[in-house]
Amino acid sequence: MLEITEGSLAVADAVGKCRPQVIAAYPITPQTHIVEALADMVANCTIDAEYITVESEFSALSACLGASAAGSRVYSATTSQGLALMFEVCFNCAGMRLPVVMTIANRALGAPLSIWNDQQDSISLRDSGWLQFYAEDNQEATDLHYLAYRVSEDHNILLPSFVCFDGFILSHTYEPVDILTQEEADRYLPRFTPFQRLDAEDPISFGLFAAPDYYMEFRYEIDQAAKKALSVFPKAGREFAELFGRDYSGLVESYRMEDADCALVAMGSLCGTVKDAIDELRDAGNKVGLLKIRTFRPFPADEVKKALSGVSRVAVLDKNISLGSKGAVALEVRDALYGSQIPVHDYIIGLGGRDVRKKDIARVVSLAGEGKGDLYYGLREEVLK
């Protein structure tokens, strides 16, 4: 049923319908509306979950880790500084193969302190073993939670997932969202069946230490599992499409790429603006298209290479910066295109909530046409002096 609702409320609704048994969260802007809505559901018994109001994000994810190991479906949500505080636990959840699902309301990292959007927070956890899915709009943000549980809990995967949606831009925006009924949600997402759990009837030890003769094999297996998501995610997407008509089977998604000369590459809510800009550029005779990255981890290098094979140039819009290097998405795209002659230009854009408009996208396209890339777009003049 289509409802005009706030992004955070739509996400909270979907999370509730995923039937998490344990929720542990700590408030942080702009994630708060999600965890408040879930607390409300628990307080009114519309969902049947234990809600642990922890004293820090570090404990939020630690509690999720314990609850998951003991055999429950778990959920948390955070952003920015909160995610940074969880850093150590993030690597543990993946290493211990626990299918935790967490929403990231993407926000910049300090210093300087900023509550506004970019994607530095989740990108900074790219090496942690968490699967990372990025939503363009609130419909996608909502639906990706159902997919995330399906993929994470698949016994061939058993890795945690971030569902990333841009803080404020999506989390605090009202849009029409098709809300699933509980019955529909249950048809797609079965009850949680843990692969193994803490159980006195069948005692096992979780989280042993590994000496140099075993450690590498653990890392290899985590990496293999993450890469399996390249086929498990599309399958989960197809099944979702069969039931509800919305298709997320693509690890990447092309928009007006059929005869594109210049391809823009982006993740998250920026894709909506880019699509509108492309429509106008196309009307003016520019052959421009968009390649939207839905799954940043695992990174769909083959799909990216295939989608970009026919273009003359690529312009990557990075809402993050690997300081001292390049934008993280551009590095991946360059790697995917290694050996081709296609130039990949990187544009660091929209950091700390700076607005990105259609005219900015048009400007990036013309900069790419001039071969000018690998720059911060739209900096204040005084820092360049």
Partner 1 sequence: MNDEAACGLFDSGHRACGGCGAAMAARLMLDAAGKDTIIVSSTGCMEVFSTPYPETAWKVPWIHSLFENNSAVASGVVASLAKQGRKEKVIAIGGDGATFDIGILCLSGAFERGHDFTYICYDNEAYMNTGIQRSGATPYDASTTTSPAGSCSFGNKRPKKDLPMILAAHGAPYVATASIAYPPDFKKKVEKAINTPGPCYIQVHAPCCTGWGFEGEKTIAIGKLAIETGLWVNYEMENGVVTRVKKVVRKPVEDYLIEQKRFRHLFKPKKNDAEIAKIQATADRNAEKFGIDIKLKK
Locus of tokens 């509980």: 182
Site for partner 1 contains 70 (CB under 8 A)? yes
**Which of 18, 28, 74, 311 touches partner 1 (CB under 8 A)?**
74
Q: What is d(CA 230, CA 299) in angstroms, rounded to the nearest whole number?
A: 8
**Which of 72, 161, 273, 295 touches partner 1 (CB under 8 A)?**
72
Distances (CA, A) of 153 to 98, 150, 236, 340: 8, 6, 11, 37
The span of 52-60, 124-132, 163-171, 347-355 binding partner 1 (CB under 8 A) equals 52-60
**Which of 96, 131, 135, 291 touches partner 1 (CB under 8 A)?**
96
Task: In angstroms, give the least distance from the CB of 21 to partner 1.
Answer: 4
Q: What is d(CA 156, CA 47) in angstroms, rounded to the nearest whole number?
A: 29
Tell me, residue by residue from 350 to 369, as one string, x for binding to partner 1 by CB under 8 A and - for no binding: --------------------
Site for partner 1 contains 77 (CB under 8 A)? no
- Amino acid 347 reads Y
Phi, psi angle pair for 134, to nearest 5°: -115, 135
**Which of 71, 250, 272, 369 touches partner 1 (CB under 8 A)?**
71
- Contacts with partner 1: how many residues (CB under 8 A)? 42
- The DSSP code for 113 is P
Site for partner 1 contains 65 (CB under 8 A)? yes
CB atoms within 10 A of CB 128: 23
Q: What is d(CA 23, CA 12) in angstroms, rounded to the nearest whole number?
A: 12
Is there a contact between 108 and 114 (Cβ–Cβ < 8 Å)? yes
Q: What are the tokens at 252?
A: 């990447």
**Which of 40, 50, 186, 280 touches partner 1 (CB under 8 A)?**
50
Site for partner 1 contains 22 (CB under 8 A)? yes
- Amino acid 200 reads A
**Which of 11, 12, 49, 226 touches partner 1 (CB under 8 A)?**
49
Site for partner 1 contains 54 (CB under 8 A)? yes
Phi, psi angle pair for 221, to nearest 5°: -65, -35
Task: In angstroms, give the least distance from the CB of 55 to partner 1.
Answer: 3
Site for partner 1 contains 89 (CB under 8 A)? yes
Nearer of residues 203 and 371 to partner 1, judged by Cβ: 203
- For partner 1, the binding residues in 193-212 under the rule CB under 8 A are 198-200, 203-211
Q: What is d(CA 10, CA 171) in angstroms, rounded to the nearest whole number?
A: 9
**Which of 5, 29, 32, 68 touches partner 1 (CB under 8 A)?**
68
**Which of 9, 10, 14, 52 touches partner 1 (CB under 8 A)?**
52
Is there a contact between 76 and 60 (Cβ–Cβ < 8 Å)? yes
What H or E segment, with its residue span, contains residue 39?
A: helix 32-43
Tell me, residue by residue from 159 to 198, as one string, x for binding to partner 1 by CB under 8 A and - for no binding: ---------------------------------------x
Q: What is d(CA 6, CA 42) in angstroms, rounded to the nearest whole number?
A: 19
Q: What are the tokens at 304?
A: 């990216």
Q: What is d(CA 35, CA 23) in angstroms, rounded to the nearest whole number?
A: 9
Q: Which residues bind partner 1 (CB under 8 A)?
A: 21-22, 24, 48-50, 52-56, 58-59, 62-72, 74, 88-89, 92, 96, 198-200, 203-211, 214
